[in-house]
Structure 1
Amino acid sequence: MYKEISVLTKLLAALIVLWGLAGSAIAEPDEDAVRDLLHSTFDKPEAKLDVAPVVALAGYAIAGWTQGETGGRALLRNKHGRWTIVLCAGDEIRSAEALRHAGIAPDVANALAQALAKAEQTVPADRLAMFARFEGLLRMDEAGNHPPAHDRAH
């Protein structure tokens, strides 16, 4: 009888571990794709981008980034399996209201803002301050590029 309990205990433990791995594997491909896009777009030989945290949900993602002495957050959207940058911002994009204003459905905006707040709880204060240095909201074009300077809102 003890042998049966031991086998069941080991099986249950293995299932819990596999379930945990499956849950983390679901989020990682989107987060990795977001990081890859931001690195390929903004990395410079003398100034590599540091991207973290990244939260992805329902086809949208928000990524905090720093590069040199500056930083910000990027809002991204997954269209047909391809991530594109929607806008760059500082603290302005942290709220569900701002996400709704950017065109995200209210339930997704609320969940994304909550996920970002949770992820940023582990970010050091000096890094969070760097995210806030990005001023205004800068919309990106369909190709994920900054618009010409005369089209910028700030």
Structure 2
Amino acid sequence: MKKIIAILACLLLASTASAGDDPQQAIPARLKLMFERPDKPLDIAPVVVQADWAIVGWRQDGRGGRALMKKTHHGWSVYLCSGDSLKDAGTLEKIGLSTNDAAGLAARLKDAEAGLDSSVLALLSSFQGTVMMMNEASNGSGGGHEGHAQ
């Protein structure tokens, strides 16, 4: 029985590690862990990735927007939330992305959103302003939790 449990534990760890490596799985899982509630399901789509940056569309409880995410040594963290401003490569450069990463993300987002229903696009565009979630003071860790990995 102990061998079976050990084998199952290894399989579970292996599947978790491989899912954590795929941003298309890791990012929605991270956001759902952070924000989803039983009475308020979180819909994540699209997810576009360029290097250590991602833009994610989200919808929850009649609201929506886009999140800019950054991959750190802690995994994917929400850098900021906004609306249509995240579709613009120039804005992404001003935030701090390289020209290449900004252009790549903007192009991927345009392609990914081309097939979305107009009502979904309206929700993604409805987020007003910009809310910073991560800053230089947190050293890219998503909230000053540097000590957890040490």
**Once the 2 structures are TM-superposed, how far is the Cα of residue 79 of structure 1 from its aligned partner?**
1.1
Report the alpha carbon displacement of residue 94 of structure 1 after superposing the two structures with TM: 0.8
Q: Deviations over 1:98-143 (max 9, x none)?
A: 1111110011100110000000001111000001111101100345
| Bigger Rg, structure 1 or 2 | 1
Runs of 4+ in 1 over 2 A off after TM superposition: 141-145
1:77 and 2:70 are equivalent in the alignment: yes
C-alpha distance in structure 2 between counterparts of 1:123 and 1:81, whole Å: 31
Q: In the alignment, is residue 110 of structure 1 matched against residue 106 of structure 2?
A: no
Offset at 1:80? 2.4
Q: What is the 5 A alignment of 1:87-102?
A: 87-102=80-95
For residues 70 and 110 of structure 2, the distance between their equivalents in structure 1, rounded to whole angstroms, comes to 19
The answer for unaligned runs of 5 or more in structure 2 is 1-17, 144-150
In structure 1, which of residues 29, 35, 50 is the aligned counterpart of residue 22 of structure 2?
Answer: 29
Q: Could you say which residue in structure 1 is the equivalent of 2:40?
A: 47
TM-score by length of 1: 0.73
Residues 40-59 of structure 1: per-residue CA shift (max 9 Å, x gap): 11101211100001001111
Counterpart-to-counterpart distance in 2, 1:30 and 1:57: 10
Task: Report the counterpart of residue 123 of structure 1 in structure 2.
Answer: 116
Q: How many Å separate the matches in 2 of 1:123 and 1:144? A: 30
**Residue aligned with 1:53, SS:** strand
* In structure 2, C-alpha distance between the alignment counterparts of 1:144 and 1:50, rounded to whole Å: 22
Q: 1 CA distance for matches of 2:24 and 2:95?
A: 20
Unpaired segments ≥5 residues, structure 1: 1-24, 146-154
What is the CA–CA distance in structure 2 between the aligned matches of 1:144 and 1:72, rounded to whole Å?
19
1:112 aligned partner, one-letter code: L
Identity %: 35
Q: TM-score, normalised by structure 2?
A: 0.74
